[in-house]
A and B are shown apart, each in its own frame.
Chain A
Amino acid sequence: MAVATRPLSDQLDLWSRRFKLSLLTLALLAFTAIIIIPFVWMVLMSVRTTGEILNNPYGLPAQVRWQNYLRLLFDPGIQFYRYFINSVFVTGCAILITALLSTLAGYGFGRTRYDFKFRGWLFALLLFALVLPPQVMYIPQFTMMATYGLINTPFALILIYGALGLPVSTYLMATYFSQLPSEMEDAARIDGASDFRMFWQVMLPLARPALATVILVNALTYWNELLLSITMVTRPDFRTLPAAMMFFVGESASDYAMAATSLVTATIPILILYLLLSDKFIEGMTAGALKG
């Protein structure tokens, strides 16, 4: 109706805008294809046989072979389950350390009640580690672990990972805690609650979104970490997934189907965690990062 009464020039304008918009959409879809195709290709490869892949790397599976995944997970020759368990154990314990230390420190750094003369200094010192390349510290970390006989145990990785995510996590927690209103804290104090009970029963439950962000950010880092993993652990039994995959793909270079299956499987836990925590993750990440 409105269109019918429009003058011709407006009509042309409308069409040219539509044309531009579809060009833009086309370009964006092409760009998105570049992002997505590697994933799709990986998943397709993971349900084919290596023979099929060698014949035609880009064909569709003749028959979807989910048994690849069963073989990967349960074949004692591959021992994927062992690396998987190692990774879960290391990541889980390290997150526990980081989350515990950073929530406590975030509370101490974030609330005005605990301010003292050099607190800002100490906080800046802690944040300085964000600039440090991990490579600058990992050689003494290695000798330290060697001195205490922790090389080739998961504990070397757990202890060092725990420190790896500490600065970012403390920063995120401190930012969040500092934005919480103090009325509830005051009320709890009047009721005679101790500092620690106030933290544990009143403030920490309020900071759950920040805690979710801390868990996800660190899970992402620890689960995917390679440098320390190949340095601290050389015994195959204790390898984590990224290290194991480097060797797995290197050793069985021709078994593309199994390699693709392992790559997909190694990504799934993080995907699940991301889907569970995603709203809070992006929100918390950006809230923290934009402050700096």
Chain B
Amino acid sequence: MATAEQTVSLPQTNALTKRASDRSSHSRSPATTRRRPWLAIALFIGPALIYYTVFVVYPLFATVYYSFHTIAPGGGQVTTTFVGLKNYQELFRDSTFFLAVRNTLLWGFVGPILEMCLATVLAFVVYYRVPFWRFYRVAWFTPILVSGVIIGIVFRWIFNVDWGLVNVALRAVGLNALAVNWLGRLDTPIWVVIFVHLWATFGFSFVLLLAGLSAIPPELVEAAYIDGASRLQAIWRVMLPLLRPTFITVLILSFLGKMHAFNVVWALTNGGPLHYSETVATYMQKRAFSYNSLDLGYPSAMGVVWFGVTVIGVGLISRWLRSRSNDLN
């Protein structure tokens, strides 16, 4: 009986990875003294691990290996030449790469923050059941379902300088000066990309935050009201701090989304004009397969650098938010 309860309650300690150590610390329960069903274990997790090793782990290491080489595919075979750190040195001299890094970092910084603020406000609005909340919940989620390619193409039309919806609307209210060539200038395209991607992905953060809000025990909020808190104070002092784990999840997922994003940029601006809305993802694709430079080593070095940046970014976000929540407790 005790073991049955244990297996039911253990999953509530949320990280599955923790459970291995949990079990070994009090390992004399009957379930573990029995011989382990190794055959079944191998049968269940073996296939996935093998598949994962072949198609993810191997390519990951191969990318690192490639980044120290010049890789020229052609004529059915691949010519590999060791060049040491040359690819990395070249990266530092590549002004287009700098532009791509600047754009992607700007996006990775501004995008998640905007998305989290917007999604939080919207989640509260639906949580408090304003009129039409059911309609909002469906409508705000729909952009998630649409392909980034389609979104990119449609917004290329919407931001068209002559007949795009944005400029038509601006001219209609007399703001002709603001009706600029959104996708043709050097300064605006990256902001259009940020806006369009926000439009496309905020629904996901919204759903996560709404679920996080709904998971807050109502007693805690009621207790705050009984202690004389106003609704704003209850939100600010009770609900937002309790939402912190969800904020971490939302920020990290959103950040990763910006770091991985390819479709929307490729279809919307294709990195242009003059690489001013280039991101690392689009530049890598161009260097690897669109330019006729026939070298897969250089873009691999880009990938390795970008992998490092992404891991550091995720680490910073989680550390920053975790330490802040520790301060509060």
Chain A residues with a Cβ under 8 A of chain B:
21, 24-25, 28-29, 32, 34-39, 41-42, 57-58, 97, 100-102, 104-105, 107-110, 112-124, 126, 129-144, 146-147, 159-160, 162-163, 166-167, 170, 174-175, 178-179, 181-183, 186, 195-196, 199, 220, 223-227, 230-231, 241-242, 245-246, 249, 256, 259, 263, 266-267, 270-271, 274, 282, 285-286, 289-292
In the complex, what distance in Å separates the CA atom of A48 from the CA atom of B142? 24
In the complex, what distance in Å separates the CA atom of A272 from the CA atom of B155? 24
Mask of B51-67 contacts with A, CB within 8 angstroms, 1/0: 11011101110110010
In the complex, what distance in Å separates the CA atom of A230 from the CA atom of B284? 13
Q: Are A109 and B4 in contact (CB under 8 A)?
A: no
Residues of A with C-beta under 8 A to B256: 130-131, 133
Closest residue of chain B to A143 (Cβ to Cβ) is B78
Q: Are A292 and B249 in contact (CB under 8 A)?
A: yes
- DSSP majority for the B interface? helix
Q: Are A133 and B150 in contact (CB under 8 A)?
A: no
Q: Which residues of chain B from 11 to 67 have a CB within 8 Å of any chain A CB?
A: 11, 14-21, 23-24, 31-32, 36-41, 43-45, 47-49, 51-52, 54-56, 58-60, 62-63, 66
Q: Are B158 and A105 in contact (CB under 8 A)?
A: no
Q: Are B147 and A246 in contact (CB under 8 A)?
A: no
Q: Given A162-B55, A242-B147, do A108 and B125 touch, yes or no (CB 8 Å)? A: no
Residues of B with C-beta under 8 A to A135: 260, 262, 280-281, 284-285, 303, 306
- Which of B174-182, B186-194, B307-315 is found at the contact surface with chain A? B307-315
Classify chain B: how many residues form its interface, as a range: 35 or more
Q: Which residues of chain B from 286 to 308 have a CB within 8 Å of any chain A CB?
A: 288-289, 296, 299-300, 303-304, 306-307
Residues of A with C-beta under 8 A to B153: 245, 249, 259, 263
Name A286's contact: one of B136, B208, B307 (CB within 8 Å).
B208
Q: Are A120 and B62 in contact (CB under 8 A)?
A: no
Name A34's contact: one of B49, B130, B199, B280 (CB within 8 Å).
B199
Q: Are A101 and B19 in contact (CB under 8 A)?
A: no
Q: Which residues of chain B from 134 to 162 have a CB within 8 Å of any chain A CB?
A: 135-136, 139-151, 153-155, 157-158
